[in-house]
Amino acid sequence: MDDRIDIRVYYEDTDCGGVVYYGKYLAFLERARTQYLENRGIKISELMLEGVWFVVADVHIRYHKPAKYADIITVHTEIAELSFASILFKHRIEHKETEALIATAEVKLATVGNDLRPKRMTEKMSKALKVI
């Protein structure tokens, strides 16, 4: 299932050329993933209290066209793969008005415990995410 979140590009998101700084896309993807999880009843703050943490294990981004100051972009998010201790998210970033493709990305998150070793997802998480 695909979730969407709209994000306005602010001046702080851009480089001296007025386009979104390449590293800022990671923050946009983080917002989209957090919203995806919360839409399914998974709250990061509750997981932290349970000793379950998400760490980024792998990131691949392909930039197709730059986003610019004042643009509104739409970040599409879906789960491509799910295992007992990892989630592979696929993202697609488009210009909201023109639907031009800006970037595509895959981000693999691993779940770890307080000791930073792999930890099985909670049953609640697994059930909430098994809609793929």
- Known catalytic residues? 15
The CA R_g of the chain, rounded to the nearest whole Å, is: 16
Q: In what order do the strands lie in the sheet containing 86-95?
A: 3-8, 72-83, 86-95, 101-112, 53-63
Cβ burial 51-77 (10 Å sphere, 16+ → b, else e): ebbbeeeeeebebeebbbeebebbbbb
For residues 84 and 86, give the distance between their C-alpha atoms in angstroms, rounded to a whole number.
Answer: 6
